[in-house]
């Protein structure tokens, strides 16, 4: 009898210990989950401020009066989406023509963008953008689908070299009016096999200055804008168009020789 009571007491204690342990672990997991959500949001917010400060270097004032408050998803040019965990994350960044005249060429650090794990669209067109510091950091943007760097003063790498990464998620690339420093860029995106839309208008492209891989590997391409280039006497590039079996829209207006 005494033995049975002892066993029952032991079982009761064990069951209580198990319940307490489960409660402890659940509380720990909830705390970690909540903390990670808050940390991720804070990282995004800080990265946006750093991006703005970089855009304004050395003494600009763009977005200073627009990007205020804790709700960065309500800031101009920033669009967010709610994830399955219920938290908001930056989905699109549109900063068209924000850098002020007189500030010189802009060299942002691409590592700032690595905090935006869900980023799908990035528009930095018209900002006197020269090149990235640490362009290989773009390789971490696994969800990036649209990139617009048009109308910029490109003088270096604006895409990571294809040996570093392929940016396989990228579907739309806009590089209009980045002449004259566009040849390294063309070489870099020759491996972007999932591109569906490509804008290379007004870049003075011809057979002599374009890499041999141009258009060769872009089998998924559906929309292509080559307007305003020097293609009238460029049979190699024009012949390569015949290999684009999925092409639905092609702009060859305003060509010159």
Q: Tens digit of pLDDT for each residue in 96-114?
A: 999 998 999 999 999 999 9
Quick check: 227 and 201 in contact, CB under 8 A? Answer: yes
The domain total for the chain is 1
In a domain, 113, yes or no: yes
Give mean pLDDT, residues 35-50: 80
Quick check: 222 and 248 in contact, CB under 8 A? Answer: yes
Instruction: Give the span between the Cα atoms of 225 and 251, in whole angstroms.
Output: 5
Give mean pLDDT, residues 145-161: 87
- Cα-based torsion angle of the residue sequence 67, 69, 72, 75 in order, rounded to the nearest 10 degrees: -40
In a domain, 170, yes or no: yes
Q: pLDDT (tens digit, 9 = 90+) per residue, 220-251?
A: 999 999 999 999 999 999 898 998 999 999 99
pLDDT above 60: residue 198: yes
Which pLDDT score is estimated for 4? 57
Q: What is the pTM of this model?
A: 0.84
In a domain, 187, yes or no: yes
pLDDT above 60: residue 147: yes
Contact partners, residue 153, CB within 8 Å, separation at least 6: 105, 128, 129, 130
CATH number at residue 122: 3.80.10.10
In a domain, 131, yes or no: yes
Which pLDDT score is estimated for 180? 60
Contact partners, residue 207, CB within 8 Å, separation at least 6: 233, 234, 235, 236, 237
Contact partners, residue 178, CB within 8 Å, separation at least 6: 149, 150, 151, 152, 154, 158, 185, 203
Which pLDDT score is estimated for 119? 97
Domain span at residue 101?
A: 49-195
Alpha helices in the chain (DSSP H): 2-56, 183-188, 235-240
In a domain, 84, yes or no: yes
In a domain, 106, yes or no: yes
User: Which of 10-24, 55-69, 75-89 shows the highest mean pLDDT?
Assistant: 55-69
pLDDT above 90: residue 38: no
Instruction: Give the span between the Cα atoms of 47 and 66, in whole angstroms.
Output: 16
In a domain, 118, yes or no: yes
pLDDT above 90: residue 92: yes
In a domain, 249, yes or no: no
Give mean pLDDT, residues 167-173: 93
Instruction: Give the span between the Cα atoms of 122 and 172, in whole angstroms.
Output: 11
Q: DSSP label at 247?
A: -
pLDDT above 60: residue 35: no
Both tokens assigned to 141: 């943007």
Task: Please indicate whether residue 152 or residue 28 has the higher confidence score (pLDDT).
Answer: 152
DSSP 3-state assignment of 135? helix
């Amino acid at each position: 009898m005494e033995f049975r009571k002892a066993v029952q007491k032991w079982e009761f204690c064990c069951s209580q210990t198990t319940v307490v342990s489960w409660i402890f672990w659940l509380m720990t997991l909830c705390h970690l989950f909540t903390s990670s959500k808050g940390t991720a949001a804070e990282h995004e917010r800080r990265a946006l401020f750093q991006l703005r400060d970089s855009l304004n270097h050395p003494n600009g004032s763009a977005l200073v009066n627009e990007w205020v408050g804790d709700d960065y998803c309500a800031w101009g040019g920033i669009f967010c989406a709610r994830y399955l965990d219920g938290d908001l994350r930056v989905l699109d960044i549109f900063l068209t023509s924000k850098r002020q005249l007189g500030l010189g060429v802009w060299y942002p650090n691409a590592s700032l963008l690595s905090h935006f794990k869900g980023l799908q669209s990035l528009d930095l067109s018209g900002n006197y953008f020269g090149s990235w510091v640490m362009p290989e950091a773009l390789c971490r943007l696994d969800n990036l689908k649209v990139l617009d760097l048009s109308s910029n003063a490109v003088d270096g790498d604006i895409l990571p070299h294809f040996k570093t990464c392929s940016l396989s998620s990228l579907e739309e690339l806009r590089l209009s009016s980045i002449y004259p420093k566009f040849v390294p860029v063309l070489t870099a995106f020759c491996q972007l096999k999932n591109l569906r839309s490509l804008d290379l208008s007004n870049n003075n492209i011809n057979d002599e200055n374009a890499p041999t891989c141009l258009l060769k590997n872009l089998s998924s391409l559906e929309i292509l804008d080559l307007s305003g280039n020097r293609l009238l006497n460029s049979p190699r590039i024009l012949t390569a168009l015949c290999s684009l079996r999925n092409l639905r829209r092609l702009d060859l207006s305003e060509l010159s020789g």
